[in-house]
Structure 1
Amino acid sequence: MNDAAPTAEPQVTRVGDIRFDDALALLATHDLHLHRVADGAPIPGSYWGEPEAGIIGSEVYVRDDTPVHSMLHEACHLIVLPPERRALVHTDATDSVPEEDATCYLQIVLAGRLPGVGSDRLMLDMDAWGYTYRLGSTRAWFEQDAEDAKAWLVERGLLAA
């Protein structure tokens, strides 16, 4: 008999907590299309499974219970890819450490442009969800250990110097 209580999902900002049109507009500035999936329906292209965001080509799929950090993370996977690679994406965007780091950095930057979220909140949500960094927190990584990720984005014109 298992007496362990089920583990509750961490309290993080969800897509249903923000204005969908704000997220739609933010992603559109990067030539991405955001789709809202009905509650309880499978999320197309979700690597981790529901409620995590899914990606196929330039399409990002979310439900209201999808964490905002997941939506931004998957969208940023597409943003960091050149168009010819983006078009081929279905579910899994990369196996490159530099691209993964750039994705994490960019999702924090973009959260600062998303009303109702902000970079500070997103970093707390990332920690609560289980992102791990050698300095112990997302903020410490972002502020003290992510120079290579920032340089990668700047080099490709995805972030101002």
Structure 2
Amino acid sequence: MNAPTVLRLADIGYATPAALLSRLGLSLQRVPAGQPIPGSYWGEEEAGIIGTAVYARDDTPVHSLLHEACHLLVLPPERRAQVHTDATDSVEEEDATCYLQILLADELAGVGRARLMADMDAWGYSFRLGSTQAWFEQDAAEALAFLRARGLA
């Protein structure tokens, strides 16, 4: 795969994302290099989810790690336990996931929301206003309301 240059788990280290996920009730499971990532919807280096665990390798993009973790976080705890690979096909939950991953990027040293949004654009996330930042700033009120209603923002 000829992937764009985005921050990867190896660039920021394992400890800080693992601590963040732990604080949020999730675990980060490190997958050895070259091994398939359990629960990965997209395959390759994309993060995977099973139950309350997020699986990633050193080459996993940080945006993917946060995105999959946030898929779990926007679900009620009883639904999290049942997740394997695909968390939802709800547009409302997908939008809330994207918004929350941007917020959580600020909690990772060396990442931050500006870099995460640039990485999301580079990777090919698609928003009707043309960029992640434009969506986040001008078109994400429903996603923010969803998160606030659940105590996530």
The TM-score, its normalising length taken from structure 2, stands at 0.98
Partner of residue 51, structure 1: 45
- Corresponding residue number in structure 2 for 1:125: 119
**Residue type of the partner of 1:93?**
A
Matches within 5 A, 1:26-45: 26-45=20-39
How many Å separate the matches in 2 of 1:107 and 1:62? 16
Matched residues in 1 for 2:128 and 2:91: separation? 15
Match of 1:12 in 2: 6
The structure having more radius of gyration, on CA atoms, is 1
- Equivalent of 1:106 in 95, 100, 107: 100
Gaps of 5+ in 1: 1-6
How far the C-alpha of 1:134 sits from its partner, in A, is: 0.6
CA displacement 1:18-45 (0-9 Å, x = unmatched):
0210000111111000011000001000
1:88 aligns with: 82
Runs of 4+ in 1 over 2 A off after TM superposition: none
Alignment partners' CA distance in 2, 1:145 and 1:106:
14
Number of aligned residue pairs: 153
Q: With structure 1 as the length reference, what TM-score do the two structures score?
A: 0.94
- Look up the SS of the partner of 1:55 in the other structure: strand
Cα deviation, 1:85-144, whole Å, max 9, x if unaligned, reads 000000000011000000000000000111111100000000000001010000000000
Unaligned runs of 5+ in 2: none
Q: Deviations over 1:63-87 (max 9, x none)?
A: 0000000000000000001111000
For 2:99, what is the secondary structure of its paired residue?
A: helix
Partner AA of 1:22 in structure 2: T
Q: Taking every aligned residue pair, what percent have the same amino acid on both sides?
A: 69
> Aligned match of 1:152 in 128, 140, 146?
146
